[in-house]
C-alpha cells in the first residue's frame, strides 16, 4: 500500500487538536526556481522570444494525471507548488509570463532550465557551450527582477508592501541543479565544479536577503535532489566504472556527494540568515533525503521495483533517450505513473512530489515543518 505511513500519520494528526493548524494562513505564494516548479513560464518565454526549442509540456501525456490535459508542467500531474496552493486554499499560482496577470494570490517566477548564476557569465568564464537549454537566459537574479517589477501592482509604500508580504510564503528553489548539470555535461569534473558551490549558495542567500528586505517573512528554501540518481547524468556517464555506483540504489555517488555539499552549505546559510533576521521564519526543505528514500525503498512506498527507470521515455537502460523524449511522437508512457518515481528522465511524477510535499508539510524532511512555521 502506498505511502501508508504518512497517511496514518495525517489521520492521527487529524484527531489531535493542534493549535498551530488554526492560526496559520497565507494570502499568497511567490515562487522562484526551475523546471521542478515551472507552471508555464518556459513555454511562454520560448514562444515570446521565438527560440528554436521544441516544446514538450504542452503535449500529451504531460498533465495526464489530475489535469487530464497538458498543463505546462514538467510532470504527469501536480507539483509541490500546486500541493502547497491547495493546502493553503489558494488557486494554482499563476506563472509570471501568463497572459492573464492576476497576482494578488501570488506569482510563479520559476522557469525550466533556470540557473542560479548568470548563464552568460558561466559561458564566458568556463567556455561552456553545451547548454542544456540554448538561448535561455534566466538566472535567479533575473527572476527576482521580475518580482520587483511586479510588486508595484500589489503594493506601493514600503509599509504597505511589508503588510502585504507578511502573510505571503516565498519559495526560493529548488534551484542550482541546472548550474551543476550544465557544468558536468560540459566535461567539468566534480572537483572542478566544487569551487562554484559556495558561489551558488551565496547567490541563493543574497536572493533570500533581497526578499526579506522587500517584506518577506516566511521563506521556504529547498535544497537540491541527489543528482547522481538523475537519468540525465546516469545516461551521460553510463560507461562509468562499477565502483562509481552506489550499489544499493544504482545512483552515481560522486554526483550525490556534490548535492550533499551544496545542501550542507545551504543549510548553514539558512541558519546564519535566521540569526541575522530573527523576525523571519526560514524553513529549510530537504529534497535529497525523501527522494533518496523512495529510490532506496521503492516497494515500501508503492513504487515499482526498478526506481531509476522513467515512466515516459524510450529505450536504453533507464527507458530514456535524450533524442527521443516524452511528448514526442512514438515515445510511450507507462501504464500507471503513480508507480514510478521519475516521470520523464529529469523530473519526478506527481506521486513523488506528493510524498515529498507531505514530508515537508508535517515533517520529517522540513526544518521546521511547514505547518509549524507560522509567525
Ligand atoms: C521565428 O523564427 C523563425 C525561424 O527560427 C522565423 O522563420 C520566423 O519568422 C520567426 N518569427 C517571428 C515572429 O519572429
Ligand atoms: C575560451 O575560448 C576562447 C576561444 O576559443 C579562448 O581564447 C579562451 O582562452 C578560453 N578560455 C578559457 C577560460 O578556457
Ligand atoms: C543575459 O542576462 C544578463 C542579465 O541578467 C545580461 O547581462 C546578458 O547580456 C544576457 N545575455 C544574453 C545572451 O541575452
Ligand atoms: C536514441 O535515439 C536515437 C534517435 O532515434 C537513436 O539513433 C539512438 O540509437 C538511440 N539511442 C539509444 C541508446 O537507444
Q: Is the CB of 52 under 6 A from ligand 1?
A: yes
- pLDDT at position 114 is 95
Residue 313 β-bridge partners: 332
- pLDDT at position 211 is 98
- CA-nearest residue for atom 6, ligand 4, is 323
Grid cell digits, residue 351? 506521486
Given a cut of 80, is residue 121 above it in pLDDT?
A: no
Instruction: Output Rg (C-alpha) for the chain, integer angstroms.
Output: 20
- CA-nearest residue for atom 10, ligand 1, is 50
Distance 120 CA to ligand 3 centre (A): 6
Residue 347: active-site member: yes
Residues 208 and 172: beta-carbon distance below 8 Å: yes
Q: What band does 13 get if pLDDT is binned at 50, 70 and 90?
A: very low
- pLDDT at position 134 is 60
- Across the range 183-203, mean pLDDT stands at 94
- pLDDT at position 136 is 82
- pLDDT at position 126 is 66
- B/e letters for 149-163, b = 16+ CB within 10 Å, e = fewer, are eebeebbeeeeebee
d(CA 71, CA 165): 28
- pLDDT at position 141 is 97
d(CA 38, CA 74): 7
From residue 287, alpha-carbon distances to 35, 60, 117, 367 in Å are 14, 27, 20, 12
- Closest ligand to the CA of 142: 3
- Across the range 89-115, mean pLDDT stands at 93
Q: Phi/psi class of residue 216: alpha, beta or left (left: φ > 0; alpha: ψ in -120 to 50)?
A: beta
- Across the range 300-310, mean pLDDT stands at 98
Grid cell digits, residue 190? 566534480
Q: Is the CB of 243 under 6 A from ligand 1?
A: no
Given a cut of 90, is residue 7 above it in pLDDT?
A: no
Distance 195 CA to ligand 3 centre (A): 23
Q: What band does 131 get if pLDDT is binned at 50, 70 and 90?
A: low
- Closest ligand to the CA of 145: 3
Residues 218 and 26: beta-carbon distance below 8 Å: yes
Are β-strands 168-172 and 28-32 bridged in parallel, bridged antiparallel, or unpaired? parallel
The predicted model scores a pTM of 0.90
Residues 35 and 346: beta-carbon distance below 8 Å: yes
- pLDDT at position 3 is 45
Given a cut of 90, is residue 190 above it in pLDDT?
A: yes
Q: What band does 374 get if pLDDT is binned at 50, 70 and 90?
A: low
Grid cell digits, residue 305? 521495483
Q: Is the CB of 51 under 6 A from ligand 3?
A: no
Q: Other CB atoms closer than 10 Å to residue 56's CB: what's the count?
A: 17
- Across the range 213-236, mean pLDDT stands at 97
Q: What band does 282 get if pLDDT is binned at 50, 70 and 90?
A: very high
Q: What is the mean pLDDT of the chain?
A: 91
Question: How many angstroms separate the most distant Cα atoms in the chain?
Answer: 60
Given a cut of 60, is residue 45 above it in pLDDT?
A: yes
Q: Is the CB of 48 under 6 A from ligand 1?
A: no
Which of 310, 315, 318, 322 should be mutated for ligand 4, with most atoms under 8 A from CB? 315
Q: Please give the domain boundaries of the chain with CATH numbers for all domains.
A: 3-372 (3.40.50.1110)
Q: Is the CB of 323 under 6 A from ligand 4?
A: yes
Distance 40 CA to ligand 1 centre (A): 21
Residue 344: active-site member: yes
- pLDDT at position 24 is 60
Amino acid at each position: 500500500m502506498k505511502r501508508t505511513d504518512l497517511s496514518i500519520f495525517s489521520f492521527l494528526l487529524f484527531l489531535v487538536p493542534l493549535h498551530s493548524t488554526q492560526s496559520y494562513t497565507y494570502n499568497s505564494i511567490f515562487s522562484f526556481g526551475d523546471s521542478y516548479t515551472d507552471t508555464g513560464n518556459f513555454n511562454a518565454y520560448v514562444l515570446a522570444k521565438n527560440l528554436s526549442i521544441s516544446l514538450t509540456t504542452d503535449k500529451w501525456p504531460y498533465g495526464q494525471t489530475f489535469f487530464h490535459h497538458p498543463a505546462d508542467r514538467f510532470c504527469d500531474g501536480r507539483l509541490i507548488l500546486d500541493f502547497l496552493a491547495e493546502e493553503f486554499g489558494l488557486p494554482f499560482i499563476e506563472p509570471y509570463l501568463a497572459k492573464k496577470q492576476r497576482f494578488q494570490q501570488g506569482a510563479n517566477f520559476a522557469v525550466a532550465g533556470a540557473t542560479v548564476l548568470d548563464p552568460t557569465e558561466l559561458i564566458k568564464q568556463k567556455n561552456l557551450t553545451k547548454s542544456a537549454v540554448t538561448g535561455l537566459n534566466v538566472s535567479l537574479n533575473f527572476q527576482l527582477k521580475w518580482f520587483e517589477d511586479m510588486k508595484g501592482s500589489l503594493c506601493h509604500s514600503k509599509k504597505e508592501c511589508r503588510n502585504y508580504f507578511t502573510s505571503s510564503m516565498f519559495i526560493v528553489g529548488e534551484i542550482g541543479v541546472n548550474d551543476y548539470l550544465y557544468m558536468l555535461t560540459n566535461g567539468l569534473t566534480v572537483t572542478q565544479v566544487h569551487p562554484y558551490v559556495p558561489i551558488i549558495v551565496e547567490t541563493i542567500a543574497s536572493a533570500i536577503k533581497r526578499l526579506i528586505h522587500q517584506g518577506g517573512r516566511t521563506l521556504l528554501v529547498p535544497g537540491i535532489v541527489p543528482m547522481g540518481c538523475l537519468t540525465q547524468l546516469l545516461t551521460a556517464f553510463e560507461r562509468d566504472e562499477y565502483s562509481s555506483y552506489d550499489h544499493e540504489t544504482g545512483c552515481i555517488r560522486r554526483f550525490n556527494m556534490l548535492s550533499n555539499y551544496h545542501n550542507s552549505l545551504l543549510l548553514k546559510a539558512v541558519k546564519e540568515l535566521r540569526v541575522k533576521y530573527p523576525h523571519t521564519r526560514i524553513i529549510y526543505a530537504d529534497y535529497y533525503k525523501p527522494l533518496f528514500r523512495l529510490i532506496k525503498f521503492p516497494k515500501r512506498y508503492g513504487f515499482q521495483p526498478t526506481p531509476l527507470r522513467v515512466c515516459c521515455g524510450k529505450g536504453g537502460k533507464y527507458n530514456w533517450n535524450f533524442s527521443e523524449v516524452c511528448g514526442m511522437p512514438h515515445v510511450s508512457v507507462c501504464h500507471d505513473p503513480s508507480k514510478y518515481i521519475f516521470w520523464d528522465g529529469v523530473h519526478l511524477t506527481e506521486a513523488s512530489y506528493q510524498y515529498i510535499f507531505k514530508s515537508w508539510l508535517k515533517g520529517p524532511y522540513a526544518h521546521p515543518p511547514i505547518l509549524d512555521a507560522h509567525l
